[in-house]
Amino acid sequence: AVHIRGLFEDRLITIPKDDKIRDDLHSVKKVVTSGGNVRYVAPETDDGHADRFWALALAAHAGRTKWQSGKVTPFKIKY
């Protein structure tokens, strides 16, 4: 989820003109637990649980990794 913010700030991805996608992207909030851990949460609605946001986050993560022998290995790419 952290990587998505950087992509938006660097204008490498833009928010499409689709209300459902925009609502999902804006619904995710950063929460710091009492133990100091960071979590990203979104309210569950009839339309899902920020599913479009998480799909984007997974796609961005997949674009930053390569697969080798069943292991995910991060690598640096230039956008």
First-to-last CA distance in the chain? Answer: 18
Q: Where do we find the tokens 């637990």?
A: 33
pTM: 0.72
Q: What is the pLDDT of residues 15-67, one digit of tens each?
A: 889 999 999 999 999 999 999 999 999 999 888 889 999 999 998 888 877 66
Q: 19, 74, 79, 23: which is closest to 53 by C-alpha? A: 23
pLDDT band at 1 (very low <50, low <70, confident <90, very high): confident
The per-residue pLDDT for 5 is 83
The per-residue pLDDT for 40 is 92
The per-residue pLDDT for 3 is 86
